[in-house]
């Protein structure tokens, strides 16, 4: 995954962590640092960027096909499973296990279907990826059968801290279960302040 790849065409990207849109020109050499969910985090000599799955061909990879909602019945478990397919572009852990989801409220609608209301936070209040993560959640939850409305609110009270991560996330990132990061992981995945 960390082999250099040369973009085969101009490619629209989002700068991480600012969220600013750029176009990386054809011929730019990138290294894929993360390929989770339906996007890629790449590193260039100029910085770190997110490439959407629909542009995977520029990396010489198969394009992610948009999946439509699978037929089936609505369940809260399906909502949580879909939330686990959304990843922070800098940290290779889904937003549920990172502890970014503060609440998930499901309300049946009078006419039919359900409204899903999410309250989430970020690891750092100044992160420019808030709108990107929010849009990812809205798009993915709207595909679920029985979901007619989705609302995502980004909140910062209470502030996020590593204690909110699942045990699996802590272990994956090299944190001891007492929340102390191991020295080898700290420079890469140090929580942003």
Does the residue 108 lie in any domain? yes
Using alpha carbons, select from 26, 19, 22, 20 the residue that is nearest to residue 5: 26
For residue 33, the model assigns a pLDDT of 92
Find the CATH number of the domain harbouring 116.
Answer: 3.30.300.130
Residues 86 and 54 grouped into a single domain: no
Residues 48 and 100 grouped into a single domain: no
For residue 179, the model assigns a pLDDT of 52
For residue 3, the model assigns a pLDDT of 84
> For the segment 159-168, what is each residue's pLDDT rounded down to a tens digit?
999 999 999 9
For 32, the domain range is 4-59
Q: Answer whether residue 181 shows pLDDT above 70.
A: no
Please report, for residues 80, 122, 126, 156, the alpha-carbon distance to residue 159 in angstroms, rounded to integers and kept in the order given.
22, 8, 12, 5
Question: Where does the pLDDT of residue 2 fall: very low under 50, low under 70, confident under 90, or very high at 90 and above?
Answer: confident
Q: How far is CA 72 from the centre of its chain?
A: 25
Residues 88 and 169 grouped into a single domain: yes
| Helices 130-142, 76-83: crossing angle, 10 deg rounding | 140
Using alpha carbons, select from 51, 24, 158, 74 the residue that is nearest to residue 82: 74
Residues 53 and 145 grouped into a single domain: no
Residues 111 and 159 grouped into a single domain: yes
Residue-level length of the chain: 193
Find the CATH number of the domain harbouring 17.
Answer: 2.30.30
Helices (H), 35-145: 76-83, 130-142
Distance CA 25, CA 10 (A): 4
Does the residue 11 lie in any domain? yes
Q: If you average pLDDT over residues 87-116, what whole number do you get?
A: 94
Does the residue 65 lie in any domain? no
> For the segment 17-39, what is each residue's pLDDT rounded down to a tens digit?
888 999 999 999 999 999 988 89
Q: Answer whether residue 186 shows pLDDT above 80.
A: no
State in Å, rounded, how far the first CA of the chain is from the last one.
29
Report how many domains make up the chain.
2
96-105, 146-155, 182-191 — which is least confidently predicted?
182-191
Give this prediction's pTM. 0.78
Q: How far is CA 149 from the centre of its chain?
A: 20
Does the residue 116 lie in any domain? yes
Question: Where does the pLDDT of residue 175 fall: very low under 50, low under 70, confident under 90, or very high at 90 and above?
Answer: confident
Q: If you average pLDDT over residues 51-55, what whole number do you get?
A: 94
> For the segment 55-83, what is each residue's pLDDT rounded down to a tens digit?
999 999 998 665 545 567 889 999 999 99
């Amino acid at each position: 995954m960390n082999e250099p790849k040369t973009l085969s065409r101009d490619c629209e990207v989002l700068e991480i962590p600012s969220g600013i849109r750029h176009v990386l020109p054809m011929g730019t050499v990138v290294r894929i640092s993360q390929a989770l969910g339906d996007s890629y985090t790449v590193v260039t000599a100029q910085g770190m960027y997110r490439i959407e799955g629909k542009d995977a061909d520029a990396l010489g990879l198969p394009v992610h096909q948009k999946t439509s909602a699978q037929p089936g019945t609505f369940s809260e478990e399906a909502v949580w499973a879909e939330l686990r397919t959304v990843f922070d572009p800098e940290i290779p852990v889904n937003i549920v296990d990172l502890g970014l989801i503060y609440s998930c409220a499901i309300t049946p609608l009078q006419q039919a279907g359900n409204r899903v209301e999410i309250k989430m936070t970020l690891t750092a209040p100044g992160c420019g990826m808030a709108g990107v993560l929010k849009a990812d959640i809205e798009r993915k939850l709207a595909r679920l059968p029985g979901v007619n409305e989705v609302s995502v609110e980004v909140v910062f009270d209470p502030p996020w801290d590593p204690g909110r991560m699942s045990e699996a996330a802590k272990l994956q990132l090299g944190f001891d279960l007492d929340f102390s990061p191991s020295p080898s992981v700290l420079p890469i995945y140090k929580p942003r302040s």
